[in-house]
């Protein structure tokens, strides 16, 4: 999941650099959402493992 988020962020940056700002922004937003979800799941898993 984290790998997918990083790939989407890089693809969004490339799309924005090529002049596709709308598509690049959309892809980057999706990447950020997936990144946040991955970090939250990692934290929940880490805390749940300690208990």
Q: Tell me the whole-structure pTM to 2 decimals.
A: 0.79
CB atoms within 10 A of CB 31: 20
Q: What is the pLDDT of residue 51?
A: 67
Beta strands in the chain (DSSP E): none
Q: What is the pLDDT of residue 43?
A: 94
Q: What is the pLDDT of residues 1-51, one digit of tens each?
A: 889 999 999 999 999 999 998 999 999 999 999 999 999 999 999 999 876
Say how far residue 29 (Cα) sits from the centre of its chain: 8
Q: What is the pLDDT of residue 50?
A: 75
DSSP state of 1: -
What is the maximal distance between C-alpha atoms in the chain? 49
């Amino acid at each position: 999941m984290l790998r997918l988020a990083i790939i989407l962020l890089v693809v969004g940056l490339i799309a924005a650099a090529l002049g596709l700002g709308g598509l690049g922004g959309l892809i980057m937003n999706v990447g950020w959402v997936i990144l946040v979800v991955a970090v939250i799941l990692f934290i929940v898993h880490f805390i749940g493992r300690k208990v």
